[in-house]
Amino acid sequence: MTSSHIKRAQRLAGTAERAVSQVTTPLRNFGFPYRIPTVPRGVEVPPEVAGLGAHYDTEWARRPLASGVRGIITEGPIRLAARVLANPEVAGLDRLSDLTRMEDPPPVIFAPTHHSHFDTGVMIRSIPTVWRRQLVIAAAADYFFDKKWKSAISALSLNAVPIDRESAGRTSSDLLSGLIADGYSLVIYPEGGRSPDGWGQSFKGGAAFLSSKTHTPVVPVFIDGTGAIFGKGMKRPKPGNTKVVFGSALSPLDGESTRRFNTRIEAAVTVLGDEAITDYWSARQRAARGTSPVLTGPEYTSWRRDWDLADRRKLGAAGKRRRQKRTWPDLG
């Protein structure tokens, strides 16, 4: 390269530098937000909130185009898969006739038991159309919204919204309250997660609190059989039969605390579980006597169930559950 070429390149570089300076200088004079603001010494800048987990924004999934795509997905593949793999028998819808016959049925909060990821598909197939068209699924933020692709699929196909199971705060409450105000019904699993051993778990107060806050009725639901189809730890679904029993809608009584209302919801689901396994009249008689079998199973001490669950975790590779030979611990 000759000296003339070098001088020409230097002139071009200088011209470009002056042009950039003429554009950026006014912006620097404006300051924030055109440039990063300064931070005083000793002040820590809070980290940027990640767009995943409980902070994932699902508003886009409720826009017209996404809603239309979801309608095709739910009414097609999801309901078909639930029919083929779970073959749900639905009972108790007559208990909701007072609501379904209304010209404009109000939003409700469905509170089903939770034994499988397949519960949501079974619920989508079983819920009446008047609520299924505008239905939101409260999903675990740490599981369904931990990756971008899982977040997008959950929001688009199920209209799921992220809920922080570890610390349910005002953000989740305000989000769900706003959706109810917009006419959406909710599916909230009061147990907070899938059953690890086939027995139910104690109900958390999220559904009861939200119902009290928004004056929205809660519909207790018992789902039987999904744990055997695609329970926790299974790698692939195994076709079977399920039963879904809907109960009468419940609303908080005047002056009733969230804890008492939550206990009443759990008791209603307990009776539905007895009804699903036996029959209506026998279940009601046991409920009247206060002898309904509890969802959480036999009254074992806590260490007994913890030990049993630890034993179940001793599984073979590829998710194959092998029944372990149990030996009682030496208690001295």
CATH of domain 61-289: 3.40.1130.10
Distance CA 6, CA 24 (A): 27
Q: What pTM was computed for the model? A: 0.77
Distance CA 112, CA 165 (A): 17
Q: Express as a percent the part of the chain with pLDDT over 90.
A: 57
Going from N- to C-terminal start, the domains of the chain cover 61-289
Q: Across 7-16, 23-32, 143-152, which has the greatest mean pLDDT?
A: 143-152
- Whether 307 has a pLDDT exceeding 60, the answer reads no
pLDDT at position 86? 95
pLDDT at position 324? 35
- Whether 314 has a pLDDT exceeding 60, the answer reads no
Per-residue pLDDT tens over the stretch 29-68? 665 555 666 778 778 877 766 678 888 999 999 999 999 9
Q: What is the DSSP string of 140-153?
A: EHHHHSSSHHHHHH
Residue 276, classified by CB atoms within 10 Å of its CB into exposed (0-12), middle (13-18) or buried (19+), is buried
Higher pLDDT, residue 299 or 99:
99
Distance CA 322, CA 19 (A): 72
pLDDT, average across residues 141-145: 91
How are beta strands 242-246 and 218-224 bridged, if at all? antiparallel
pLDDT at position 129? 93
pLDDT, average across residues 262-278: 94
> Bridge partners of 136?
186
- Whether 176 has a pLDDT exceeding 50, the answer reads yes
pLDDT, average across residues 293-315: 60
pLDDT, average across residues 249-267: 95
pLDDT at position 25? 66
- Whether 327 has a pLDDT exceeding 90, the answer reads no
Residue 29, classified by CB atoms within 10 Å of its CB into exposed (0-12), middle (13-18) or buried (19+), is exposed
